[in-house]
Amino acid sequence: MTDNVAGSGPKDPTASTPAASGPTRPGIEDLVRALERMAASGLDTSRGETYVARIASLRDALDPAIAAHETWEIQLERAIRSGSGEFQVDVVRRDDCCALGRWLHGEGQQTIEASALALVRDLHAGFHLEAADVLQLAVSGRRSEAIAAMDVGTTFSQASAILVAALRQLAHPAEPG
């Protein structure tokens, strides 16, 4: 692992402060409320072929994206635990370098409605800020803290879970009652 970022240790993961040069970091409560709003608003549920095709297209794109995100997260954890790997803090901090990020900044812009895309991109960017903070701990010689920061219930794991929930909501919207 290589550290290409200057500065002090990680920021308070619950703070809503701007990143070094990127998106703001909402608190977990903000993310949960945004996800709830997304689920409540849903998609256009007209039962025409356009709706069915749109959902099928989203599933085709998002199901593999969810799997890729989960695989990437496992690889990051393995690199932190082993103390070696190709992850770099400055690259991990960016939300457009992984497969999901490239899709969200590319084809996803034509596939997902604007409000849902903005939410998912914010959630994804927030996850990358958390991941970069965890990696920063590891490359600063604080590997045990980095491993603990990835545990269930931490801001990192919550950011990941909320992102995956939002992606699943888009790919598999609930049928209206």
Domain ranges (residues) in the chain: 45-171
For the ranges 5-19, 40-54, 127-141, 145-159, the lowest mean pLDDT is seen at: 5-19
Residue 120 has pLDDT above 60, yes or no: yes
Is the model's pTM score more than 0.75? no
Cα 95 from Cα 93, distance rounded (Å): 6
Pick the most confident of 43-47, 53-57, 130-134. 130-134
What average pLDDT does the segment 103-117 reach? 86
Q: How far apart are CA 121 and CA 100, in angstroms?
A: 10
Q: Which of 155, 143, 158 is CA-nearest to residue 78? A: 143
The pLDDT score that the predictor gives to residue 39 is 55
Tell me the sheet residues that pair with 2.
88
Tokens 């490359």 map to which residue?
139
Which residue bears the tokens 């939002």? 166
| 45-171 CATH fold | Four Helix Bundle (Hemerythrin (Met), subunit A) (1.20.120)
Q: What's the CA gap between 113 and 9, in Å, rounded? A: 37
pLDDT for the residue numbered 64 = 85
